[in-house]
Amino acid sequence: MSEKKVPNPYGKLGSPKHREKVDEVVEEETLKGFKAIKEYLLNLFGGKKRYMDVAVLGSKDDPISYHQIGKQTKNRLPVKRERDVIEEVYQDKGILPKFHPYNEIKSEKDNEK
C-alpha cells in the first residue's frame, strides 16, 4: 500500500519554519510594548471565520494590526491563499494585514555573488 500524501502534516499551526516566524513577529511586537496574540480568531462577513497568525492589540484590547505568515512566490508576493486571506480581512475589518514570508527567495543578484 502506498503512503497517502498529507496536504498539511503540521496542522493548523503550520510548519516549524512558520511557527518560528510567528514567534519572531510576536517577540518584535512585544518588544515595542504591544500585546501580541497568536491564532487570533476573526469573524468575517457571511459567517466566515479566519485565524490571523498574529494580532496586535491596543490599550483597549482592540486589534490595531494583523500579521499573516506564509510562503512567498518567486516574485516575493504572498502565495494566492495568503493574498486571499489578506484581502478578505482588509475588506471586512479595514485593517490591511502585514505579510511576513518564512521562505527565502534569492534574487538574480544573490546568485551572482
What's the pTM value of the predicted model, to 2 decimals? 0.85
Name the residue ranges covered by the structural domains of the chain: 16-112
Phi, psi of 22 (to 5 degrees): -60, -50
Exposure on the CB side of residue 9, measured as CA atoms within 13 A = 5
**DSSP, res 43:** E
Which pLDDT value is given to residue 100?
97
Burial 61-97 (b: 16+ CB within 10 A, else e): eebebbbbbbebeeeeebeeebeebbebbeeebebeb
Which pLDDT value is given to residue 104?
84
Which pLDDT value is given to residue 42?
96
Print pLDDT tens along the chain (113 aa).
566 776 777 787 888 999 999 999 999 999 999 999 999 999 999 999 999 999 999 989 999 999 999 999 999 999 999 999 999 999 999 999 999 999 988 766 555 55
Which pLDDT value is given to residue 12?
77
Cell of residue 22, nine digits: 510567528
